[in-house]
């Protein structure tokens, strides 16, 4: 009887091994589930970034407001009939980070009227 019990225990252990540690076992399923959750989080972040980029492209295609705003803030451009006034915050050097020469003229209305004086 003892030999039969040991043989039965060994048979159960052999049957359980692929279930827990085999190629399609529970441990592998849990690991794949964890990887799937991480990939879903990554995909959600990328989808949000894509939505923001699509909105920016739509703004740039539909109107001149977004283009003018980029020209003003990233390139330091102003309209020909405007006077550029820069107010430095206390503790800063007052040197503009963008301006690398005389301002260039724009043809559209100002995006931020507080920044330019006519």
pLDDT at residue number 83: 83
Tokens of 95: 């040197």
Tokens of 54: 């699509």
CB neighbours of residue 67 within 10 Å:
15
Spatial contact of 103 and 109, defined as CB atoms under 8 Å apart: no
CA–CA gap between residue 26 and residue 70 (Å, rounded): 54
Spatial contact of 102 and 75, defined as CB atoms under 8 Å apart: no
pLDDT at residue number 101: 52
In this prediction, the residues of the chain whose per-residue pLDDT falls under 50 are 107-114, 116-118
Look at residue 105 and give its three-state secondary structure. Answer: strand
pLDDT at residue number 97: 57
Spatial contact of 68 and 109, defined as CB atoms under 8 Å apart: yes
pLDDT at residue number 69: 81
Q: Where would I find the beta strands (DSSP E) of the chain?
A: 83-84, 116-117
């Amino acid at each position: 009887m003892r030999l039969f019990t040991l043989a039965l225990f060994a048979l159960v252990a052999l049957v359980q091994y692929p279930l827990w540690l085999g190629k399609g076992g529970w441990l592998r399923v849990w690991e794949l589930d964890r990887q799937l959750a991480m990939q879903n989080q990554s995909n959600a972040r990328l989808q949000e970034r894509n939505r923001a980029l699509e909105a920016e492209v739509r703004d740039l295609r539909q109107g001149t407001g977004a283009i003018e705003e980029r020209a003003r803030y990233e390139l330091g451009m102003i309209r020909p009939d405007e006077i550029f006034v820069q107010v430095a915050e206390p503790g800063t050097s007052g040197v503009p980070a963008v301006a690398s020469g005389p301002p260039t003229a724009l043809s559209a209305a100002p995006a931020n009227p507080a920044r330019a004086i006519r």
